[in-house]
Amino acid sequence: MRVPPVYRRWVTCPVPRPQASLRLFCFHFAGGDASIFRLWTTQLPASVEVCPIELPGRATRRAEPPITQFPELLEKLAGMMLPFVKQLPFALFGHSFGGITAFELARWLRRNGGPMPTRLFLSACPALHLRQAPPSPITHLPDTEFLEEVATRFGTPREVLTSDDVRDTVLPALRADLSVGESYRYQPEPPLDVPISSFGALQDPEVSQQEAEAWQHQTTRDFRLRMFPGNHFFLSAERIRLHKAIVEDLQLPAKKGG
């Protein structure tokens, strides 16, 4: 990718595929990082170049100050992604917090005359027009209370949240991302002229099937809903079925051997 190195801090490409016909940009959930899509880079067909997004304040960018306001995040991210989305056809995949980012990036590109994605994949993310009131703020709480609220809201196992590793490495990024979420305000715009696939989980305490299905009102094109087993974090457990759905919806040849 012939772009300055600073851009590649944001748009990672662990397995470059120069012959790919499409790029899939992947946006992580709150507190996550680009590594959650590591297996995607080799398990999707060779025609897809997977480009996970790495936000500041975590993993390889842990030394950088995190962004805590959604308008700032969107403007910086969009500017860093423009060189990439102009090179190849592309699709956007976002899980939970990443779904908000992917959706608003598509609308930013439309407002600014940029190229549009071939498809938008929104996973564990409620249709945002249904939740115009901001979520109850929790990022001001002390660590113990904050993590308890996270466990209740998203169904995250409490033993995971109370581990030393989470407190040392994930907590700062989680606070930053949820601050971004608390600052987000949905603004009505016309539906996108982009097909949308919505993925939900049957035992998700945060996003109901009705909220996942309501994304159909944000597109003038094809809409598909799939519900998977599991809770809000079905991303890893259902990876194979997610990949199958992505390949089907992008109308790509399946990866040989699986």
Looking at 21, 47, 96, 208, which residue is catalytic? 96
**Beta-ladder partners of 196:** 120, 223
Q: State yes or no: is 21 an active-site residue.
A: no
Which residue in this structure is represented by tokens 């993590």? 147
User: Cα torsion at 24, 28, 33, 34 (round to 10°)?
Assistant: -10
Report the 10 Å Cβ neighbour count for 86: 10
Alpha helices in 44-193 (DSSP H): 70-85, 97-111, 143-154, 158-161, 164-165, 171-183
Structure tokens at 249: 């919806």
Q: How far apart are CA 254 and CA 44, in angstroms?
A: 8
Tell me which H or E stretch contains 41.
Answer: helix 40-43
- Whole-angstrom distance, CA of residue 151 vs CA of residue 205: 10
Closest C-alpha among 201, 197, 188, 200 to residue 231:
201
Indicate the pairing of strand 22-27 with strand 223-228: unpaired
Catalytic residues: 96
